[in-house]
């Protein structure tokens, strides 16, 4: 009986000892410090640290397989950061969408090198050996820096960071509606559309109120005086236009009168020319007759002289030649002219 009772007692004592041993071993294991990561998580509150010294930044997402493959290489690179005299950081684009917009990250993983506020994009494989050579051999000097509006510290990139932050908040709110509350996706979209319209109306109302506050209306008498002056100016302009049109019409009438007078003068000149030509034509036959008379007189005088000189005997010896019709006509005209000269004029 004694042996049977001792057996359960021994097992109970052994079990109690094992429990005590395990309870003592647990706190000792929990007290062991975990291996601390030397990669500094960056956020919108502490990202300005990269403006001083030399840094290497990695942009990643927890769901990205390529980012997970480079985690161990990035940790090894951070452990040797003191030897390389460089600080190593990382940015979760899901938790910090504003920083991803500030650096305009479009692919993951994305690496950046910063030296005294000058940023450059590292496009290597992201393994430890290549990162180490990139720093030791100063290959970053061969890369074009992000200057001007592309710099993460510029005003343009600050605005981009604000837009990305807003989009991240909207995305989280959409997940809250669809996942936590179980609202359908189209209802969530409708809520965002209505909220956008209401926000636009409110902003328009605020702008109107601001303009009303800064706008100083004119007194009534000044407004009436300005209206009267405006009307007088319009009437004056209308009078000027009317005067200009009348002057234009007068000038056109004068031009028409001048053109008509010139046409009449030209017609008179043409009529005078025609009369002169007719008078010349009337004078031309009388002059032609006088010329013919003078010619025939010149021809007749030598004939008469020859007839007087020649003796009568020669006339008898030489037989008379028959006269031609031309000579007869010439003699007839000569006789008529002589008779005309012989008759006294009236």
Tokens of 72: 């161990």
**Separation of alpha carbons 52 and 138, rounded Å:** 18
SS3 state of residue 67? helix
Catalytic residues: 64, 67
Helices 71-79 + 128-136 axis angle, to 10: 40
> What is the DSSP secondary-structure string of 135-177?
HHTTGGGGSPPB-GGGSTTSHHHHHHHHHHHHHHHHHHHHHII
**Separation of alpha carbons 109 and 90, rounded Å:** 10
Query: Minimal CA–CA distance to 140: which of 155, 163, 123?
Result: 123
**Separation of alpha carbons 230 and 54, rounded Å:** 69
- Burial group, residue 145, by CB count within 10 angstroms (0-12, 13-18, 19+): middle
Contact 128, 77 (CB under 8 A): yes
Cα-based torsion angle of the residue sequence 74, 79, 85, 91 in order, rounded to the nearest 10 degrees: 40
CA angle 288, 292, 296 (to 5 degrees): 175
**Separation of alpha carbons 164 and 171, rounded Å:** 10
Contact 169, 101 (CB under 8 A): no
Q: If you ran DSSP here, which 8-state letter would residue 179 be given?
A: I
**Separation of alpha carbons 136 and 118, rounded Å:** 18
């Amino acid at each position: 009986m004694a042996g049977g009772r001792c057996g359960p007692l021994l097992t109970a004592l052994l079990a109690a000892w094992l429990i005590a041993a395990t309870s003592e071993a647990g706190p000792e294991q929990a007290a062991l410090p975990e291996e601390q990561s030397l990669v500094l998580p960056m956020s919108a509150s502490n990202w300005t640290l990269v403006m001083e010294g030399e840094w290497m930044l990695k942009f990643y997402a927890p769901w990205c397989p390529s980012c997970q493959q480079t985690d161990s290489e990035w940790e090894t690179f951070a452990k040797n950061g003191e030897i390389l005299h460089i600080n190593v950081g990382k940015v979760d684009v899901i938790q910090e969408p504003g920083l991803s917009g500030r650096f305009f990250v479009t692919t993951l993983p994305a690496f950046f090198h910063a030296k005294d506020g000058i940023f450059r994009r590292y496009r290597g494989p992201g393994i430890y050996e290549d990162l180490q050579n990139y720093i030791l051999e100063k290959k970053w000097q061969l890369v074009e820096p992000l200057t001007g509006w592309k710099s993460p510290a510029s005003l343009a990139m600050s605005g981009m960071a604000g837009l990305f932050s807003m989009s991240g908040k909207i995305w989280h709110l959409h997940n809250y509606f669809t996942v936590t509350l179980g609202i359908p996706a189209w209802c969530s979209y409708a809520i965002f559309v209505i909220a956008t319209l209401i926000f636009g109306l409110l902003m328009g109302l605020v702008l109107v109120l601001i303009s009303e506050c800064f706008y100083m209306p004119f007194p009534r008498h000044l407004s009436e005086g300005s209206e009267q002056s405006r009307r007088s100016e319009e009437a004056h302009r209308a009078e000027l236009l009317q005067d200009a049109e009348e002057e234009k019409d007068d000038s056109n009438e004068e031009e028409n009168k001048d053109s008509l007078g010139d046409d009449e003068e030209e017609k008179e000149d043409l009529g005078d020319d025609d009369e002169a030509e007719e008078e010349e034509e009337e004078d031309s036959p009388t002059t032609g007759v006088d010329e013919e008379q003078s010619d025939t007189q010149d021809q007749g005088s030598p004939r008469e002289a020859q007839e007087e000189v020649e003796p009568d005997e020669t006339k008898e010896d030489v037989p008379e030649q028959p006269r031609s019709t031309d000579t007869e006509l010439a003699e007839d005209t000569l006789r008529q002219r002589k008779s005309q000269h012989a008759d006294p004029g009236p």
